[in-house]
Structure 1
Amino acid sequence: MTLKEIDMNEVYNNDPELKKEDVNNLKEWIEKQPHLPHVSELQVALFLQSCYYSNEMAKYTTDTYFTVKTLCPEIFGTRDPLNPLVKTAMDCVVITPLPKLTPEKYLVVLVKMMDFNPDNYNFAAQLKCFDMITLLHLHQYGPAKGVIIILDLKGIVFGHFLKLGVVVMKKFLYYLQEGMPIRLKSLQFFNIVPFMDKILAMMKPFMKKELIDSLVLHNDVSTVFKYIPIDILPQEYGGSCESLPILQEKYKARMIDNGEFFKFQESQTVDESKRPGKPKNISDVFGMEGTFKKLEVD
């Protein structure tokens, strides 16, 4: 893995509530689970921080993270930026963590369609790219105090909606809420489309109340500024950040430059034959009603 990760001393200095002793305790627990893969100290810190330092919740999140990724290869497998499907996805949509944080120190991840031809759109591949670039960013810059996901729907047509899949949506929303090591603060859509009600009807059955409560819809970008200062956004929205085409090229280059990191991620799978007790399968995971990861929204 050639990725230059953030130094752990910097991670601990940036967050006094994140204790090395707690990270080590969680890491020891993970290493004693025969079905889980080897993890780095930084990965463990991301799990613990995302769960607001709850060791028990972080255990659940860690297991969920690796289990879902193993059981859902259509979304989380083939993490090769040079794979034709992934390359097409990167050409189709820009997914970029913005360089500046909000005043609350939240990371903003912007998603924007750049190729409006529905024939080139692959929903699962876009979700894969979102996961890849967001986790890459966290490994390079450390845990984020909070994450806001904003999606610009300008250019989206009904042909894109027809390519969304209920099963893929369910799997990813479960992962986003239960396993992804981020503190998700808000999910926001702007330049909403006439069929937004159909998109929400597909999403909401798989969203916890906390995520539904954090959902914000904007007719255009003007009301986004109540949540995200205009200065943070790209030039097209009146901000000082670089233009969308430049951000897209940087996003693609960043993905390609870190192919070894994604290869390492792809190798981190669960061995269900070694899981204590009963091995898990797809129906076990996505039918379960048990403990849920804490989702705090301001």
Structure 2
Amino acid sequence: MTVRALSSVLRKKAEEEVNETPNVADAAIAQLRDWLHQKPHLRAAKIPDQWLIAFLRGSKFNINKAQEKLDTYYTLKTIAPEIAANRHPFDASIQEILKIGFFLPLRKCSTDTSPRTCLVRVAAFNGTKHSLTDLIKVALMIIEILLIEDDNFTICGEEAIVDVKNLGFGIISQWTPTLAKKVVTCAEKSLSVRLKSMHVLNAGKGLKAALQLFKLFLGSKMKTRIHLYHKDYEKMYRTVDKSILPVEYGGTDGHIQDLIDHWKMKVETYSDWYAQHDSIRPDESKSSDAKNSANVLGIVNCFKKLDID
């Protein structure tokens, strides 16, 4: 098994948080390998152990759940290609999103066992210039890198800081129920993102409709982890250490442009990875257990149920 060694504190955290021990990890990866060999579209794929353990951690080492997440991940490339496939880092549209820094994981964690904090700069979005699906695609591309490289992310989870300053109709009009469901499916049911908390900054009246659609597809536990702030960030600083934040958000760890430059270069180095994994898709005409969009997304007409808890 080729999996990065954990520090002693993360090893303890992994056992407490996701039920991982070295013996459990070895056995679980072996089981996933056996399962992969039974899947026509996955049998020949070059899938590293580090990728598999990310899905196992996201499933708390429940083998069936990990299999379901992997299957959903590759199925989404067929049924949601606008956000899950055709990922070419040097395409003009993706380069544009990388340059504005929409999704930026921070360089430090508050402690050795803290979640990875990710800055989501909705404020950088220009509704007349950018496509929301491109922004989401790039965010998911970066999340894949975190799944491979960041043990804090896969074991301790994610803490999101979402800046919605100057949120306008341009982005809200593109945030449809179907897209909302696809995003939640990617994050929760395939990429195993374990969101510990979400801090929404500069939240004004225009946020309500978009937040309704997003919260609609979240579980009751997750709904309680979303916190809104207008212009006063002091409450957020009680749980988010200033030392990990960029200067622009009251912190001391460099500037946003430093993060933009880092993640642009990092995504570009993963060009071969994206190409390889975009080519792995189920053949629904041959695979007896291939999924369709209705099965994976489970989209229902639920406008009448819109409500804020």
Query: TM-score of the superposition, structure 2-length normalised?
Result: 0.83
**Structure with higher RCO (Cα < 8 A, 6+ apart):** 1
CA contact (8 A) 1:36 1:63 kept: no
Aligned with residue 176 of structure 1, among 178, 183, 187: 187
Residue of structure 1 equivalent to 2:228: 217
Shift of 1:177: 1.7
What is the distance in 1 between the residues matched to 2:107 and 2:296?
Answer: 35
**Selected match of 1:102 from 92, 107, 110:** 110
**Contact 1:187/1:211 (8 A) holds in 2:** no
Residue 250, structure 1, aligned to residue 259, structure 2:
no
- Runs of at least 5 residues in structure 2 that lack an aligned partner in the other structure: 301-309
Corresponding position of 2:3: 8
Question: In the TM superposition, what whole-angstrom CA distance separates every residue of 1:4-24 from its partner, at most 9, and x where no partner exists?
Answer: xxx614159753624212221
Deviation at 1:128, TM superposition (A): 0.6
Alpha carbons of structure 1 residues 254 and 155: separation in structure 2 relative to 1, 3 Å: farther
Partner of 1:206: 217
Displacement of 1:70 after TM fit? 2.8
| 1:65 alignment partner, one of 62, 68, 73 | 73
Aligned residues: 282
Alignment of 1:231 with 2:231, yes or no, is no
Task: Confirm whether residue 160 of structure 1 aligns to residue 168 of structure 2.
Answer: no
Contact kept in structure 2, 1:149 and 1:187, CA below 8 Å: yes
Which residue, 148, 154, 157 being the options, matches 1:139? Answer: 148
Mapped partners of 1:112, 1:48: distance in 2: 29
Report how far residue 61 of structure 1 moved: 1.6
How far is 1:160 from its partner? Answer: 2.5
Q: Confirm or deny: 8 A CA contact 1:105 1:144 kept in the other structure.
A: no
2:56 aligned partner: 48
Q: CA deviation at 1:92?
A: 3.5
Partner of 1:227: helix, strand, or coil? coil
| Structure 2 residue aligned with 1:129 | 138
Change (3 A) 1:269 1:263: same
Give the Cα separation in 1 of the matches to 2:270 and 2:114. Answer: 26
Cα 1:190/1:275, change in 2 over 3 Å = same
Tell me which moved more, 23-32 or 127-136: 23-32
Q: Deviations over 1:98-156 (max 9, x none)?
A: 11113342111111146453212211111111111121123123434211122111232
The partner residue of 1:29 within 30, 35, 38 is 35
- The residue identity in structure 2 corresponding to 1:34 is P
Q: Contact 1:107 / 1:144 at 8 angstroms: preserved in 2? A: no
Question: How far off its partner does 1:254 sit?
Answer: 1.6
- Provide Cα deviations, 1:206-245, integer angstroms capped at 9, x if missing partner: 2222321222222233222122111111111221222112
User: 1:275: Cα distance to partner?
Assistant: 2.2
Compared CA separation, residues 155 and 249, structure 1 to 2 (3 A): farther
User: What is the identity, as a one-letter code, of the residue corresponding to 2:216?
Assistant: P
| Pair 1:162–1:263, CA change in 2 (3 A) | same
Change (3 A) 1:92 1:113: farther
CA distance in 2, matches of 1:141, 1:163: 31
Tell me the C-alpha RMSD between the 2 structures: 2.3
Q: One-letter code of the match for 1:235?
A: V
Residue identity matched to 1:132: M
